[in-house]
Amino acid sequence: MEESIMTLNGFSDFFKESLHLKKVDIKSYSPLALAYIGDAVYEVMIRTKVMNHGSTQVNNMHKKSAKLVNAGTQAEIIRRLMEAEDLTPEEIAVYKRGRNAKSVTTAKHATMADYRTATGFEALCGYLYLNGDLERLIAVVGKGLERIGELE
């Protein structure tokens, strides 16, 4: 495990250096900006997990990924994490800021409650990612997938 932590830290540092990313106060981002990046990060994580099951038709991989990245599933993940008290007080605060943010976008295939709850989850993912806490991000997503029965 220690080796993987070093790899994550090394990747994060390399990524920041290579793209000339400046240090930004994470608290300066709006919850919707955090959700914007969190949505992408979560999707890459899910696509990586789906591809790890072996090479199959792209359409099949897309269907499995879409099932796990939709607002209903994301809302279920964060609800289960909250029920099990898997999040820190700081993470709960970030989630709630994202959930309560007023978005002009509306849900296409989800209830408004699920959509807003999922936005909070995405904000949390974005916060952990931008904060460079990749180990915690992976732990939270992994625990969430476990809680909904998506980890074997």
**Residue of 39, 86, 114, 133 with catalytic role:** 39
DSSP secondary structure letter of residue 18: H
To the nearest 10 degrees (0 to 180), the angle between helices 31-51 and 58-69 is 140
Q: Which amino acid is at 65?
A: S
Quick one: which H or E segment has residue 71? helix 71-83
Known active-site residue 114: no
Identify the burial level of 112 via C-beta atoms within 10 angstroms of its C-beta, where 0-12 means exposed, 13-18 middle and 19 or more buried: exposed
Which two structure tokens, joined as six digits, stand for 34?
């955090």
Residue length, the chain? 152
- 8 A C-beta contact, residue 120 and residue 99: yes
Element (H, E) at 148: none
Only one residue has tokens 């981002």, namely: 29
**Looking at the annotation, which residues are catalytic?**
39
